[in-house]
Amino acid sequence: MMSEQHKHFAALAARVASDRDKTAFAELFDFFAPRIKAYLRRLGLEDSAAEDIAQEVMIVLWHKANLFDPTKSSLSTWLFRVARNRRIDALRRDKSGLLDPDEPMLRPAESPLPDAMMDGEQRDARVRDALAGLPEEQVGLIRMAFFLGYSHSRIADETGLPLGTVKSRIRLAFGRLRRALEKDEQVDTDF
């Protein structure tokens, strides 16, 4: 059940979305901007970077308030998720030399031997066949989670499914994939 404060913030966000209400935005800005900045500082960002991202988050609210859905989350959850994602994006863009160019993990992998390539292609084919045997609702969730890299929460947001349903369908899909792949391996070793 939504608290009165959550209802109030949702109503203000709706006014920003529909009417570009500056008074509503100012109230939301005054409440959330310092809290978002403090949150980002606790995550280790410098003061100026935290302030910049907090400003970006509030700009997102101004321009994209229509994307906020109060039936899926509170405004604070939505804004802090935007802040978290902006922080991650900023860390990915950071080219300040924090990476060691001699790091072995950054070197290109050696070319695989032909038999290893063949094994990999066979494994990939088995996985594709196993995926084809899954119900479409599970395949879609597996694609979002592992091929697109979406979190379970984002999948729930994108599909409109409850988070628990997303998690259980992915778990069921993994069980089916494991059984199918183990069955294939059993057939391969019987030869």
**73: pLDDT confidence band, cut at 50, 70 and 90?**
confident
Residues 28, 34: contact at Cβ < 8 Å?
Answer: no
Domains, the chain, with CATH or none = 4-93 (1.10.1740.10), 132-191 (1.10.10.10)
- The arithmetic mean of pLDDT across residues 84-100, rounded, is 73
pLDDT higher than 80, residue 87: yes
**125: pLDDT confidence band, cut at 50, 70 and 90?**
confident
Residue-level pLDDT at 186: 61
pLDDT higher than 80, residue 88: yes
Q: Is 111 helix (H, G, I), strand (E, B) or coil?
A: coil
What mean pLDDT is reported for the chain?
82
d(Cα 180, Cα 132) in Å, to the nearest integer?
Answer: 11
Residue-wise pLDDT tens digits, 28-46: 999 999 999 999 998 888 8
Q: Give me the sign of the Cα torsion angle 61, 64, 69, 73.
A: negative
pLDDT higher than 90, residue 57: yes
d(Cα 118, Cα 96) in Å, to the nearest integer?
Answer: 40
